[in-house]
Amino acid sequence: MNVCVANIHASKEKNMKPSKYNFFKKIPNLSSEEYVAYNSYSNALAILSAEEYIEYKKFEENNTVHLDEELLKNLFKGNFIVKDETDEIELIRERMMQARYNSTSLGLTIAPTLNCNFRCAYCYEKGCEKDEWMSDTIQENIVECVKSCAATINNLQITWYGGEPLLAINIIENLTRLFKKICQEFNIKYAASIVTNGYLLDFNMIQRLIACDVTYCQITIDGDREEHNMRRPHVSGVDTYDTIVQNVCEASRYFRVGIRVNIDKDNKDAIFNVKNSLTKVLTENVVIYPAPIRSNYDCYLEESCFKSIEFLEFEQDYYTSSDLKTIMTKYPRQQGNSCCADSLNAYVINSNGDLYKCWSDIGRKKFCIGNIREGIIDRTKAIRYSKYDPTRDPNCVACKFLPICMGGCPRDVIERPNDRCPYFDELHKQYMVKIAEIMTRDNSLN
């Protein structure tokens, strides 16, 4: 059931106050003076004329100042002004609780094998690779688990993960067939995506994934041919770049593809190299984006990795010179919770049936919360990532990004509490201005 949180109307401003979550920035390079307005609670983006902006600023300083009725209505609609009695933190907390404890969706990240045909320099699963495949019994256990939830869920979302999941395509096919049967019987929406290195994703494999209802693929390309081959070699030592690029081109004809470019301080140009060499051969279904390499579990040299703020500054050049489709990936989304780690109804399942809460933990017994046969065994580990409440963290409560950040990666909250903020005020405003500029220009062309 949809719940309308703000099913009220603004009539007069005397009982109103400015939201805590407003961002304003003057749009440069325009003949007329205009401001971009963004509210992180409603996630709305608007343009204000100079007169409207001045009028709002007067209200911000003194909320007894009269606002034009149309402007008042519009500001209220986007949560730029709220009723006096509104406690925005309480509303954010309620949204968080709803998302964290939502039991109408089941999200499973399944690794049919931890075996991998690559040996990437920075792999955080180093040492966890095993020539182990999900047994028929474990598969049956997973299906039983889904069946037991079927009567209460509306959505089943599967992410195929690994190791390299395409090494176990038969298992993916078998589980998909059984999941879809349950979904059909209980009228559940089914969605699937895959994280793959792309090496085995040839035409035949693409058709098999389409049959498995996979609609999104994450594939990593780490720079130009030479760079990529060095960082992401095949286990046999052969080069992988040309095969992957060929496969990505084919795959992008059938489903959405996110090309992830893993970046550290030594390959800063990689994102531009990938963009320049691939943009012309890829379809509209592809988004290319940089991602920072992490040194989780000492898998990589910490000094080679960007700090959060360094990475935000690095990616600025890429996004501000991109088209709308690419820069829209920087448009925030409202966050209830962060990910499967802090969500009640989401699990990561290893090939041996072990359960985890975070993708990064897979294969590490220390973080195993139970197994698919017996369910959750260690409740303390199970709540490791969900016991943190950003709406009670003084730093987050004071932060204007809270509704779109919610404290950041739950694992970072524990492992790197002082290097976890994914937003930076001035950069965020720049992105909002850039998006507003492109959208205004595109609208005027239509």
CB of 176 to another protein, least distance (A): 15
Query: In this structure, what are the phi and psi dihedrals at residue 12, rounded to the nearest 5 degrees?
Result: -140, 155
Q: Return the number of the residue (42 or 273) whose C-beta is nearest another protein.
A: 42
Q: Is 102 in the site for another protein (CB under 8 A)?
A: yes
First to last CA, the chain: 36
Give the amino acid at 281.
V
For another protein (CB under 8 A), the number of binding residues is 91
**78 is an interface residue for another protein by CB under 8 A:** yes
Are 324 and 316 spatial neighbours (Cβ–Cβ below 8 Å)?
A: no
Q: How far is the CB of 132 from another protein (least distance, A)?
A: 19
User: And the tokens for 152?
Assistant: 């209460």
133: which residues sit within 8 A by CB, 6+ positions away? Answer: 112, 113, 115, 168, 171, 351
Closer of 394 and 446 to another protein (Cβ): 446
Q: Which of residues 401-420 bind another protein (CB under 8 A)?
A: 409, 411-412
Residues with Cβ within 8 Å of 398's Cβ and at least 6 positions away in sequence, in order, are: none
In the window 125-164, what residues touch another protein (CB under 8 A)?
A: 155, 157, 159
Binding residues among 357-376 for another protein as defined by CB under 8 A: 358-360
By the rule CB under 8 A, 47 interacts with another protein: yes
User: Peptide bond before 163: cis, by omega within 30 degrees of 0?
Assistant: yes
Among 198, 223, 290, 370, binds another protein (CB under 8 A): 290
Which of 10, 16, 92, 99 lies at the binding interface for another protein (CB under 8 A)?
99
Q: What's the CA gap between 336 and 328, in Å, rounded?
A: 20
Measured from the CB atom, the residue of 157 and 320 that comes closer to another protein is 157
Decide: is 22 part of the binding site for another protein (CB under 8 A). Answer: no
Tell which one of 16, 27, 48, 270 touches another protein (CB under 8 A).
48
Angle made by CA atoms 343, 390, 42, in degrees to the nearest 5: 85
Closer residue to another protein (CB): 2 or 236: 2
Q: Which of residues 207-226 bind another protein (CB under 8 A)?
A: 215-216, 218, 220
> Where is 156: in which H helix or E strand?
strand 155-160
* x/- track of binding to another protein for residues 316-355 (CB under 8 A): --------xx--xx-x-xx-xx-xxx-x-xx-x-------
Largest CA distance in the chain: 73
**Nearest approach, Cβ of residue 24 and another protein (Å):** 12
Phi, psi of 90 (to 5 degrees): -60, -40
Q: Report H helices in 321-424.
A: 324-327, 379-382, 394-397, 402-405, 410-415
Question: How far apart are CB 306 and another protein at their closest, in Å?
Answer: 12
> CA angle at residue 67 from 65 to 70, to 5 degrees?
170
CB of 348 to another protein, least distance (A): 8
- Residue numbers 27-46 binding another protein by CB under 8 A: 37, 39, 42-46
